Amino acid sequence: MKNFIATAILLAATPVFAVSWKVYGPCSEKPVHEGKVPMKKFDTSVGAFSVQVFEDNKIPYIGSEEGFNSIIGTPTDRGSIEIVSKDELRAYGWCYSVNGQFPEQMPNEVFFTENNAELVWFYAYSTVKNNQWQEDYCTPAYNIKATQFCGKK
């Protein structure tokens, strides 16, 4: 009985953290996947955590802890470029946020720092107009629902 009580006290004293996660595709403001994962401590990078979540939930991806070219079967290479006009295109890819912040580092370089963290992966675009990148870096693709990903509007 003493061992049981000691174990219960130890477990109660061990902090348990959790990370809520969501994945948004190109066509809807509702996540296509989401969940919450308990963690004993925050010593895992966003990239390593993401790979584990994708594998545990059978979410298809192309990439690694350092970054992702595709999640949920999104196109890569030329398939991820939208020609808007002769002077404008949109380049699509995956962006992420942690607790509403958009780190400039690769996901393997970012670690969770607080309890009840929220990780969001979202398919996004950046625009090139007249050979100049615009200031819309990592704009969620579901804001415009491009025909090549979502069909006719």
What tens digit of pLDDT does each residue of 104-116 get? 999 999 998 878 8
Query: Is residue 152, in this structure, part of any structural domain at all?
Result: no
Residue with tokens 């393997």: 108
User: Domain containing 102 — which CATH number?
Assistant: 2.170.130
131: helix, coil or strand?
A: coil
Between CA 118 and CA 126 the distance in angstroms is 23
Distance, CA of 90 to CA of 128 (rounded, Å): 6
Q: How confident is the model at residue 15 (pLDDT cuts 50, 70, 90)?
A: low
Mean pLDDT over the full length of the chain: 89
Residue 11 placed within a domain: no
| 38: containing domain | 18-146
For residue 3, tell me if it sits in a domain. Answer: no
Assess whether pLDDT exceeds 70 at residue 149.
Answer: yes
Query: 10 lies in a domain?
Result: no
pLDDT at res. 153: 64
Say if 67 falls within a structural domain.
yes
Q: Spell out where the chain has E strands.
A: 17-24, 33-39, 61-64, 67-71, 81-85, 88-98, 117-129, 132-133, 139-140
- For 36-48, the pLDDT digits (tens) are 998 876 788 999 9
pLDDT tens digits, 78-106: 999 999 999 999 999 999 999 999 999 99
- Does 46 map to a domain? yes
* Number of domains the chain is built from: 1
Question: Is residue 63 scored above 50 in pLDDT?
Answer: yes
Average pLDDT of the residues in 67-85:
95
Let me know if residue 110 belongs to a domain: yes
Q: Closest by alpha carbon to 62, among 72, 52, 49?
A: 72
